[in-house]
C-alpha cells in the first residue's frame, strides 16, 4: 500500500499563497474598511483613506514577501515576520496567509496541535474560498497522518473549482490507507480528470494511481 501522507505535502506552494494574498488585497483592500469610509465624510476623506489603505497594503505586501523569502531560505526569522503579520494585519488576506504559513512551520516542527489551531483560526476568520480550502485540506491531511480517517473524511467537500482535484486525491489517500485500493483508484482517476494540464502535481498523482493499481 502506498505511503502518501508525508508531512511536507500538508502545505501549498508559498508562491501561490503570496500571489493570492496580493490579488485579494488589490481587489478587496478598500472594501475591508468600507464602513469606516462612510464615517470620514467627503471626497477628500475618501481619497485620504484610500491612500492609507494602499500604503497599509504595500507595507503588508513587503512583510509578506520578506516572510516567504525567509521561510524559503530556512531563516528562522520568517516565523517572527509571520507573527507580526498576523498580529498587525489579521483582517487582511496577508494576515490569513501568515496564519497558513505559521501552521506550516508548526507542523514542520512537529507541533500538530499548534498547526491545527492556526488552521482553525483561518476557517473562523476568513470567507475567502481559496484560503478556506487550503486550511481544510491541511486539517484533513493532519487527521490522516494521525490515523483519524473518520475526521479526515468528514472534512472533505466538493469544491467544483481548482481545488476539486486536491479533494479527490486526498479522498484516494484516505481510501488507500484504509486498504480499499479499488475505491482509491477511482478517486485518483477523478483527481486526474479534474487536474488539467501537465505539472509536477499531476505526475505525482499519476504515480500514486498506478502504484495503487498494481499493489
Domain boundaries in the chain? 9-155, 157-215
Q: What is the pLDDT of residue 128?
A: 87
Q: What is the pLDDT of residue 37?
A: 36
The full length of the chain comes to 215
Q: What is the pLDDT of residue 21?
A: 52
| pLDDT tens, residue by residue, 19-67 | 555 554 455 443 333 333 333 444 444 344 344 445 677 888 888 889 9
Q: In 3-state terms, what secondary structure has residue 89? A: coil
Q: What is the pLDDT of residue 23?
A: 53
Q: What is the pLDDT of residue 1?
A: 37
**SS3 letters for 100-154?**
HHHHHHHHHCCCHHHHHHHHHHHHHHCCCHHHHHHHHHHHHHHHHHCCCHHHHHH
Low-confidence ranges of the chain (pLDDT < 50): 1-15, 24-25, 28-53
Element (H, E) at 162: none
In angstroms, rounded to a whole number, what is the distance separating the alpha carbons of residues 42 and 161? 41
Amino acid at each position: 500500500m502506498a505511503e502518501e501522507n508525508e508531512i511536507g505535502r500538508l502545505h501549498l506552494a508559498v508562491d501561490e499563497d503570496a500571489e493570492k494574498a496580493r490579488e485579494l488585497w488589490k481587489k478587496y483592500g478598500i472594501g475591508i474598511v468600507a464602513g469606516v469610509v462612510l464615517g470620514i465624510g467627503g471626497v477628500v476623506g475618501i481619497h485620504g483613506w484610500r491612500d492609507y489603505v494602499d500604503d497599509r497594503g504595500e507595507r503588508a505586501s513587503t512583510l509578506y514577501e520578506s516572510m516567504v523569502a525567509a521561510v524559503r531560505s530556512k531563516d528562522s526569522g520568517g516565523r517572527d515576520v509571520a507573527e507580526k503579520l498576523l498580529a498587525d494585519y489579521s483582517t487582511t488576506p496577508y494576515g490569513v496567509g501568515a496564519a497558513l504559513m505559521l501552521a506550516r512551520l508548526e507542523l514542520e516542527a512537529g507541533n500538530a496541535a499548534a498547526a491545527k489551531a492556526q488552521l482553525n483560526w483561518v476557517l473562523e476568520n476568513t470567507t475567502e474560498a481559496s484560503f478556506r480550502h487550503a486550511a481544510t485540506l491541511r486539517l484533513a491531511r493532519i487527521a490522516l497522518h494521525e490515523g483519524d480517517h473518520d475526521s479526515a473524511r468528514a472534512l472533505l467537500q466538493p469544491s467544483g473549482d481548482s481545488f476539486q482535484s486536491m479533494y479527490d486525491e486526498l479522498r484516494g489517500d484516505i481510501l488507500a490507507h484504509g486498504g480499499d485500493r479499488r475505491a482509491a483508484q477511482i478517486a485518483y482517476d477523478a483527481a486526474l480528470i479534474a487536474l488539467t494540464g501537465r505539472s509536477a502535481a499531476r505526475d505525482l498523482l499519476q504515480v500514486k494511481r498506478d502504484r495503487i493499481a498494481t499493489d
